[in-house]
Structure 1
Amino acid sequence: MASTPEFIPIGSQKHDPAWKHCQMIKCGDRTQLKCIYCGKVFSGGGIHRIKEHLAGQKGNAASCLRVHADVRLSMQQSLDGVVVKKKKKKQKIAEDIRNLAPAINKVENTFVNQNEVDSGLQLLSLPNAVGSNSCFPAKEEGFIKSPVRRKRGRPKNISPPPTTSDAHPIGKLNSGTLKAKDQVHMAIGRFLYDVGVPLDAVNSIYFQPMIDAIASAGPALEGPSYHDLRGWILKNAVVEVNTALERFKAAWGRTGCSIMADEFTSETGKTLISFFIYCPEGTMFLKSVDASYIVTSVDALFELLKGVVEEVGVRHVIQVITNYGENYTAAANRLTEAFPTMFCTPCAARRINLMLEDIEKLEWINTTTERAQSISKFIHNHSAVLNMMRKHTGGKELIQPNNTRSAANFTTLQNMVSLKENLRAMVTSQEWLDCPYSKKPISVQMTDLFCSQTFWSHCITIIRLTQPLVRILRMVDSNKKPAMGFIYEGMYRAKETIKKELKKKEDYMPYWNIIDWRWDRRFHSPLHAAGFFLNPRFFYSIQGDVHTEVMSGMLDCIERLVPDIKIQDKINKELSSYKNASGDFGRKMAIRARNSLFPADWWSTYGGGCPNLTRLAIRILSQTCSTSGCNRDLIPVEHIHGQKRNRLEHQRLYDLVFVQYNLRLQQRKLLRNKPFDPISHDNIDHLEDWVVEKEPFFEENGDLDWIALDQPITNTANSEFTSDEPEGLDTGFDDEEIYNIGIDEEEDDDNGG
């Protein structure tokens, strides 16, 4: 049976221009080259044979009948250039040898003088074929007169002539001078400004490797053409991305995976759904679908989701995460009926963000936030005031970004509280009193605000009420580790914190109602409860019996995710070892690791005595709770759904979107600390209320010199979730009111409420 051909990526070390117009494939033990135009496969002859084929040069290869005329011409010129290059190389070698004559004569004279002293040494006669002035290395025993075999090409001991200092302006980079570095940076900036590339493109993890690759190639490197970028380079990038994604797919068998359906509306009003597959190894973009005529039909939406599950492999899928709506709910119910070994769950990040938005609308919270925002706008629109603030805060920034506008509001209030004394010192300093802005009405308000104990007291209360929800949002959007083992505990702690802060039921119930309205019992997925049960950090902190809701969720997961009843029975037996912390679960190391290892890692290390339960635990704890993919900006998703399109060009665009999405998803996990500037246009969407003045721009003192701004010292934003954040685990999980509030409401509804 013939083996299936395997495409081999063409590495960057392949410099011949013909490599751009062919593919390298491996069939069995043989490596072959394939023309991308006519598909002809060459078993021998190397890249030179391909070049002759493309150039239409008869003799060693048949001519390609489908190659573009410009490619044929360039291949012919390349073949002609080889001949010319060989001639020039021979001429240069001869010239180098002539230039070396004085040095060789000097060496010969030295050898002659030395020979008069050490008569044992004899000069090595130079072969006539190379020239009387050529020289070769001598053996250490002495210069023995012996024939030397002629080699083709330049002799190894002959160095090329030194280049002139003005050969290329960028060629001076090795000197490390500031001027050379500035020239390079200006060239990069000029290019970015000309083509309109967002300036945060330099934050890409691929930016510096690109600079290094260009520098290593030396001066006068010819850049890729437009056709190169949309041709062989894109094709090789697709191969590279697919190769990287194979590692993700290999992990699905052990950890399972989550399908994430991210619905959004394009600029032209189309409803698009992008599908991603998540596992702890990483998130991959699968495809994008124009769902404008699908989301309104339960049948069509079900068929779409069903097709994606089958494409990924139902044996790997633990859950499908979607938006929440009537059509999605109905389609999800049909999907779990068709595939009874998986769950459908809503996106947790969206629901938690809605909770924060609702809490922010409460009058006293909204008033406090608006007062803080008005002061921040004044600071961030006057360079002298902004520099003064950064001076008194030690370079720390006032605003803290987050994934959503509401979360950014609350994290900024928290950051302002941490800088309270610095801000007070600023508005009471002599420098501030001498500043021309200190007499303005807004400046007086800022002074009063920063010196107001009531304002800071309100800020602290807001932070205490919202910090648990902000933490959950950061957790479910994290790129670092899966959040399934933490989401249930997070919701419990949020309600517990609010109750402890406000104490009276009439005070904390409005906040609980907001949470329960957005997170009703339809969102209590059995996966969330099972994740809590299987997280040793939380499970062993339970005081008394495990609550019925948690235990029921765990049993639901056993029945649905493990269809084999024999294995179900084994898991039930193994549960007792986990509950009693017997065997390896009771080791001192395992006990210490409950709070330090992520849950799936803990089971992988200490669950060997319960293999069936361990496998299930790892598959549950390895899932995400959100549909967050990556930033869709500048990815031409909508182009692949256009009405006017050529089939070939459509496939090219699809491959481009595939590469762009997956490259960004891969670097999300690597780029954790992103440089941050609050007044940057790139951050306006979430921070507009903190940096943009509502009134028209008007500046009396001409204080708009942005180049004079002092840059923040701590100007990076890290929204990553870590498992070692303070949790208050000593309080346990025994507040029945938190568990039963939703049940009581359902009973009231059932009784005709």
Structure 2
Amino acid sequence: MIGGHVVELEIFELLIFLCRKIVRKKDRFWIHAEELSGKFKCKYCSKVYSGGVARLKSHLSQVSGRDIETCDKVPPNVQTEAFIAICGDPSKRAKSTGSTNVNESGESIAVSGSRSFGGTNQMTMHEVYKKKNKEEVDQSLAKFFIMNNISFNVVQSESFIDLIKDVANYGSGYKVPSYSTLRTKLIPNEKKEAETYVGKVKSSWYLSGCTIMSDGWTDLKGKAFTNVIAYSPGAGDMLLGKYPRMYKTRCAAHGLQLLLKDIYKNAEWVRIVIDEARLIENHMYKHTVLLALMREATQKELKHPCITRFASNFLVLQSLVDVENELRLFVASAEWRESNLNKNRQAKKVTELVQNNEFWNRAKEVLQALEPIVRVLRLVDGEGSTSGYLYDAMERAKEAIKCRLGNNQNKFMRIWELFDERRNGNIIHPIHAAAALLNPAYMCRERFRESREMKDGIGFMFENLILPEEKEDFLKQVQLYRSRSTLIFNSTALMMLKTSHPRVWWDYCGDPLPVLRKYAVRILSQPCSSSSCERNWSAYEAAQTKKRNRLSSEMLDNLVYTRMNILAMKKWSTLESQDLEPINLEKLHELSEYIDDGKGGDGDDGEEIEETSLTNLDLLWLNQELEFADYNY
């Protein structure tokens, strides 16, 4: 019997062993690994580890700190299953074992008997579920945009991104404020913040003065609008006031756009090239398939012409020249030749142009001729105190045009005539000539020559700006400044010529000449264009959309006032630092692409438009309805 007991015991142990093997084999996670003797080989990363299914699950779950290296190639669905197998379903555990709070530092704290997972495990838990949840949230967002007729470009706006981040940081317990709370509390709070900002800006006016900008237009319904904006170096938006001894200047940016238009109309060699460039751009963006092929071939976007900004034609031409080699290869490719979209007359003309050396040579000549004018436009087309630089920039542009076209008198003289006509009639005001003289860095240059226009500018100041009791001191101090007296041009002042904006230089170094200092700071603090004003054309219309047309006039005014000053606040720090440093006319920012109709192939690629900080996204369509006209000043 003893032997029989031994046999029975061995059989029993064998059965237990076999049962364990069967159970182990049935675990569904073994399909993700190859079983070896006492080890396993992961099917995803092909690495071999010792242990059984528990270590396999740990390996696949990507939960660190479980005495095994995690798999970096495991599919998301397998990783999720392994994580749940180890940690349990978070939603079920929250109901059955208590709650988990999150402290201010973002670490999880277990409460009421629940198991606590450290910060690393908690992060992994979020990663497991956010993939599926994100798709649901994205669809809800899409539905929200559709049902409320919101422009898709809003997703690119900084304010929308900030909103999403704030809601996500708050958590799932966030409740949307009521209509009444939004209207009676939250909007007024934003207005108070804007008023605080406006008060800060106004306080700078005593020193710097300000420019009042106005811009008029008519909408599609025949309504006439006048946009009035007060600009100061501190910010530059929506401030009104009446000041004695005002003077009126024209928008230099608009004058330069008109100059480019004049050249297009009167210089045939320029017009032909621009028309050909627009033909190429139009054909490339006319069809989705062709556009996709072009993008793949060039790895770049072409710029688009804008009917209200003639400098956009320069950008179109420049973008073509930048990808000349890629376009040549593209129109010679099999994809281009075999496409049915390239069988018509326009396509054949485009092919001929792109393969024509003469076209590219003429295009580069036009760019050379127009670049000096566009360079000045880059100076003035935006925010910033530029009045002390406009005169010098225009003189440099004129000399550059002469240098580049001087060998061809017919081409040069016509552009020179058009340049002078617009310069004197629409761009340079006597105050700009005076500002050039009052720019100490410009006046102290070796090649500086005081022109008749500068003297006339000082005379304009004397007659129109200087108070009667200050006129005698003003003239004396102008002479001291012109003579570069050591009273003001000491070693500190000479060093600051290279490091400071002219208005900052006068504010810091001009104490020996108090009267001249006061007026120099004010003049040198002003802009040369109303570009920032034009970008805010539709502020009132933006507030008075169909969904808001029952708002009171007071609420409409509050919305416009608040919106525009919030936008200005966003630029406050940038403008402050920008207006502390001198402007290098050789290193100006590039022109942004002018937004017109946001076109893309067959209208389905229009999402390429990027938001600019002062552009009303809901009313971008307005630009394409405006004809580029010579406004009467």
Same fold (TM over 0.5): yes
Which residue number corresponds to residue 416 of structure 1? 320
- The 5 A counterparts of 1:162-173 are none
Alignment of structure 1 residues 76-475 onto 2, 5 Å: 159=111, 177-286=130-239, 309-310=241-242, 314=243, 339=244, 341-362=245-266, 363-393=268-298, 395-399=299-303, 404-429=308-333, 432=336, 441-475=345-379
- Matched to 2:414, the amino acid is P
Q: Return the offset for 1:470.
A: 2.3
Q: Say whether the 8 Å CA contact 2:278–2:305 is kept in structure 1.
A: no
CA 1:413–1:188: 2 relative to 1, 3 Å: same
Distance in 2, Cα, partners of 1:401 & 1:719? 21
Query: Which of 444, 461, 465 is the matching residue for 1:557?
Result: 461
Seen in structure 2, the aligned counterparts of structure 1 residues 436 and 590 have a Cα distance that, compared at 3 Å, is farther
Q: Does 1:656 align with 2:609?
A: no
Tell me which residue corresponds to 1:145: none
Question: What is the RMSD of the two structures over their aligned residues, measured on CA atoms?
Answer: 4.4
Relative distance call for 1:510 and 1:280 in structure 2 (3 A) is: same
**Is the CA contact (8 Å cut-off) linking 1:640 and 1:654 kept in structure 2?**
no
User: 561-570 or 620-629: which moved more?
Assistant: 561-570
C-alpha contact 2:439 2:502 (8 A) present in aligned 1: yes
Task: Please state how far the C-alpha of 1:620 moved relative to its aligned partner.
Answer: 0.8
Deviation at 1:635, TM superposition (A): 3.4
1:747 aligns to what?
none
Mark the CA change 1:636 to 1:469 in structure 2 (over 3 Å): closer, same or farther. same
Partner of 1:501: 404
Mapped to 2, the partners of 1:455 and 1:475 lie a distance apart of: 30
Q: Note the 1:18-57 alignment, pairs <5 A.
A: none
The structure-2 alpha-carbon separation of the partners of 1:364 and 1:719, relative to structure 1 and needing over 3 Å to count, comes to farther
1:520 CA drift (Å) = 3.7
Change (3 A) 1:272 1:563: same
SS of structure 1 residue aligned to 2:226: strand
Deviations 1:31-62 (CA, angstroms, capped at 9, x unpaired): xxxxxxxxxxxxxxxxxxxxxxxxxxxxxxxx
Equivalent residues of 1:469, 1:490 under 8 A apart: no
Q: Give percent identity, aligned residues only.
A: 27
Pairing partner for 1:598 from 455, 476, 501 = 501
Determine the C-alpha separation between the residues in 2 that align with 1:522 and 1:379: 36
Structure 1: distance between partners of 2:443 and 2:452 = 14
| Cα separation, 1, equivalents of 2:538 and 2:126 | 33
Cα offsets for 1:336-384 (capped at 9, x unmatched): xxx3x22122222322222222222233322222211122122123344
Secondary structure, aligned partner of 1:212: helix
CA distance in 1 between counterparts of 2:486 and 2:559 reads: 53
Distance 1:219 1:564 in 2: 68
Deviation at 1:567, TM superposition (A): 6.8
Task: Say if 1:570 and 1:612, in contact at 8 Å, map to a contact too.
Answer: yes
Equivalent in 419, 431, 448 of residue 515 of structure 1: 419
The whole-number CA distance in structure 2 between the counterparts of 1:719 and 1:220 is: 32
Residues 403 and 568 from structure 1, CA distance in 2 versus in 1: closer, same or farther, beyond 3 angstroms?
farther
Give, in whole Å, the separation in 1 of the partners of 2:332 and 2:144: 46
What letter corresponds to residue 159 of structure 1 in structure 2?
V
Tell me, in whole angstroms, the C-alpha distance in 1 between the residues paired with 2:237 and 2:225: 17
Per the normalisation by structure 1, the TM-score is: 0.56
Shift of the 659–566 alpha-carbon distance from structure 1 to 2, 3 Å rule, reads closer
Instruction: Give the deviation of 1:574 after TM superposition.
Output: 5.8
CA 507–277 in structure 1, closer or farther in 2 if over 3 Å, else same: same
Change (3 A) 1:717 1:515: farther
Q: State the shift of 1:413 in Å.
A: 0.8
Contact map agreement 1:280 1:622 (CA 8 A) in 2: yes
1:491 corresponds in structure 2 to 394
Q: Say which SS state the counterpart of residue 553 (structure 1) adopts.
A: helix
> TM-score normalised to the size of structure 2?
0.66
5 Å-filtered alignment, 1:669-708, equals 683-685=595-597
Q: Flag the structure with more relative contact order, 1 or 2, with Cα contacts below 8 A and sequence separation at least 6.
A: 2
**CA distance in 1: counterparts of 2:301 and 2:483, whole angstroms:** 47
What secondary structure, in the 3-state scheme, does the structure 2 residue paired with 1:259 have?
A: strand
Whole-angstrom distance in 2 between the partners of 1:342 and 1:633: 24
Report the CA distance shift for 1:387/1:267 in structure 2 as closer, same or farther (over 3 A): closer
- Displacement of 1:631 in angstroms is 3.5
In 2, Cα distance between the equivalents of 1:498 and 1:254? 38
Stretches of structure 1 lacking an aligned partner (at least 5 in a row): 1-95, 101-156, 164-170, 287-307, 315-338, 698-703, 721-753
Comparing both structures, which one devotes a greater share of its residues to helix? 2
Task: Give distance in 1, aligned partners of 2:514 and 2:325.
Answer: 55
What secondary structure, in the 3-state scheme, does the structure 2 residue paired with 1:230 have? helix
Residue 344 of structure 1 aligns with an amino acid whose one-letter code is: K
- Contact between 1:205 and 1:671, CA under 8 Å: does it hold in 2? no
Partner of 1:620: 523
For 1:472 and 1:243, how far apart are their aligned partners in 2?
Answer: 35
CA drift of 1:234 comes to: 1.7
Q: Is the 8 A contact 1:400 1:408 kept in 2?
A: yes
Quote the Cα distance in structure 2 between the aligned partners of 1:513 and 1:677: 28
Distance between the aligned counterparts of 2:223 and 2:234, measured in 1?
A: 32
Distance 1:385 1:591 in 2: 58
Q: Which 5+ residue runs of structure 2 have no aligned equivalent?
A: 1-93, 99-108, 116-123, 576-588, 615-633
Contact 2:506–2:521, Cα closer than 8 Å, also in 1: yes
> For the structure 1 residues 368 and 718, does the alpha-carbon distance in structure 2 shift closer, same or farther, using more than 3 Å as the test?
farther
Q: CA deviation at 1:528?
A: 0.8
Residues in 2 aligned to 1:501 and 1:635: alpha-carbon distance in whole angstroms: 43
**C-alpha contact 1:204 1:667 (8 A) present in aligned 2:** no
Residue 71 (structure 2) aligns with: none
Structure 1 residue aligned with 2:53: none
Q: Deviations over 1:134-173 (max 9, x none)?
A: xxxxxxxxxxxxxxxxxxxxxxx9936879xxxxxxx986
Check the 8 A contact 1:205/1:667 in 2, yes or no.
no
